A = this chain, B = another copy of it.
């Protein structure tokens, strides 16, 4: 029996090795926008032979094949998200949680770059989340 992830990876020209499936499943089920190091530390419990290099290689491959996007909301850490739909990220400056949010980019008026081809859009907002306000 093949998992959904196996099929999804194949469809995007990524050979579904054991490690790749585990890393992709981690991203898509946890939805926690982890760093490479967080992924490694969690999965090494399950896969004791896992190498950090494999985590980096795999994430790089996922980004190339466009099944994962990089989140640069903080300058000292690279985070990853397997949800590649256009959506924004909110980081709470108090609890450091990163929330997803959706936005309607048809309603953004953008000036000064008319006639530019826009390939990727990233919207990051920082502030204090509702939970931390109380």
Residues of chain B within 8 A of A104, CB atoms compared: 108-109
Complex partner residue of A74 from B72, B112, B121, B125, CB under 8 angstroms: B72
Contacting pair B117 A88 (CB below 8 A): no
Q: Does A127 contact B (CB under 8 A)?
A: yes
Stretch from A5-13, A20-28, A39-47, A93-101 that touches the partner: A93-101
Q: Which of B72, B108, B117 contacts A108 (CB 8 A)?
A: B108
The listed residue (B75, B100, B116, B128) touching A90 by CB distance below 8 A is B116
Task: Tell me which residues across on chain B come within 8 A of A130, comparing CB atoms.
Answer: 113-116
- What is the total number of residues of chain A having a CB less than 8 Å from a CB of chain B? 42
Chain B residues, CB < 8 A from A100: 112
B-chain residues with CB within 8 Å of residue A29 when the two chains form the complex? none
Name 18 A/B residue pairs within 8 A (Cβ), A-sorted: A70-B75, A72-B124, A101-B112, A102-B110, A103-B108, A103-B110, A104-B109, A105-B108, A114-B130, A115-B133, A117-B128, A119-B126, A120-B126, A120-B127, A122-B123, A122-B124, A122-B125, A123-B123
